[in-house]
Amino acid sequence: MRILVIEDEIKVANFIKKGLEEEHYAVDTALDGESGLYMSEVNDYDLIVLDLMIPKIAGLDVLRRTRSNKNKVPILVVTAKDTAEDIVKGLDSGCDDYLTKPFEFKVFLARVRALLRREKVDTEPILRLADLILSPVTHRVTRGEKEIELTSKEYGLLEYFMRNPNKVLTRTMISEHVWDYHFDSMTNVVDVYVNYLRKKIDKGFEPKLIHTIRGVGYILSPDRP
């Protein structure tokens, strides 16, 4: 899952990025409204964390412009503005959730998970496909009775697959949602990681879940396409 953090206070942006990355999310940061808006337009984010008092383009305008671009990405506003009017204004301008500073990081992470879940029809807090289970809260992945150990990137990749089951995912889609913008698209990193993941979740299990669609990408599905 790829998240954009728009926050002008570098230290705040940094600890949010660090905390999110340790939860296996891919995180980009923007230090002002203008670059934030630009990045949200060129990349396909699964969530945007937005501060309201940011230079160049104010947070509320970033919100309104994102929504007027028909971009339905969930937006979590994190701000020091804490009056009732501010919260109402923020929610009415198009954000999906509103968190006031200073905040509990645990609560922040829970809200991030809730927003990522909300986008999907399936609102169950556990992701499940056949006998493969992934819990975004505990990061535990099990297949059948067996617990599977994954690296951070493998976990991110699997979460993306499991949030989009039975759907063909191109290499570009995968790289955009699992890696941050430092990702070099000229390499075959995606294929390498998909192979790592395949070894861990499919080897020794039936049915196979990860299938290659030649020339296009991959699909996570219990049925052979």
Partner 1 sequence: MDFRSLRFKLTLWYVLILGILLISFSSFLYLTLSRSLYRDVDHKLRSLAELIASESTSPLSKFGFGNIDQTLEASMNLKPIGKFIQVLDESGRIGRTSENLKSVQLPISLNALRNGSKGLITYETNHSLGNTPLRIITYPVKENNQVTKMIQVASSLEDVEDALNTLLIILIVTVPSILVIASLGGQFLANKALKPVDRVTQTARMITSQNLNQRIQTLKVKDEISRLIDTFNEMISRLDQSFRQIKQFTTDASHELKTPLTILKGEVEVALRKKRPLHEYEQILESNLEEIDRMSKIVEDLLLLSKADIGEIRLNREDIHLTRFISGLTEQMKILAQPKNIRIEISNHQNEIHVFGDTLRMRELFINLIENGIKYTEAGGSILITLTKETDPPPDLEHGPAKREALRRAGGSVNLLTSKEKKAVTFAKIIVADTGIGIAKEDQEKIFNRFFRVDKARSREQGGSGLGLSICKWIVEAHQGEITVESEPGKGSSFIVRLPLYSHLRENLDNY
Name the residues that contact partner 1, by CB under 8 A.
Answer: 8-12, 15-16, 18-19, 22, 31-32, 53, 55, 80-81, 101-106
Of residues 19 and 222, the one with the C-beta less far from partner 1: 19
For residue 198, give the 3-state DSSP assignment.
Answer: helix
Q: If residue 62 lies in a helix (H) or strand (E), which one and from where to where? A: helix 59-68
Query: Quick one: 79 or 175, whose CB is closer to partner 1?
Result: 79
For residues 13 and 197, which CB has a smaller minimum distance to partner 1 in the complex? 13
Smallest gap from Cβ 76 to partner 1, in A, equals 14
Q: Smaller CB distance to partner 1: residue 109 or 189?
A: 109
CB of 20 to partner 1, least distance (A): 9
Shortest distance in whole angstroms from residue 35 CB to partner 1: 13
Nearest distance in Å: CB 88, partner 1: 16
Residue type, position 161, single letter: F
What's the CA gap between 112 and 175, in Å, rounded? 20
DSSP assignment, residue 142? E
Q: How far is the CB of 85 from partner 1 (least distance, A)?
A: 11
Report d(CA 131, CA 222) in Å as an integer.
9
Positive or negative, the Cα torsion across 15, 19, 22, 26? negative
Reported for 165-168, long-range contacts at CB under 8 A and 24+ positions apart, including other chains, are 165/129, 165/220, 165/221, 166/219, 166/220, 166/221, 167/219, 167/220, 168/213, 168/216, 168/217, 168/218, 168/219
Specify the residue, 12 or 173, whose C-beta has the smaller distance to partner 1.
12
Query: Chain-centre distance of CA 193, in angstroms?
Result: 18
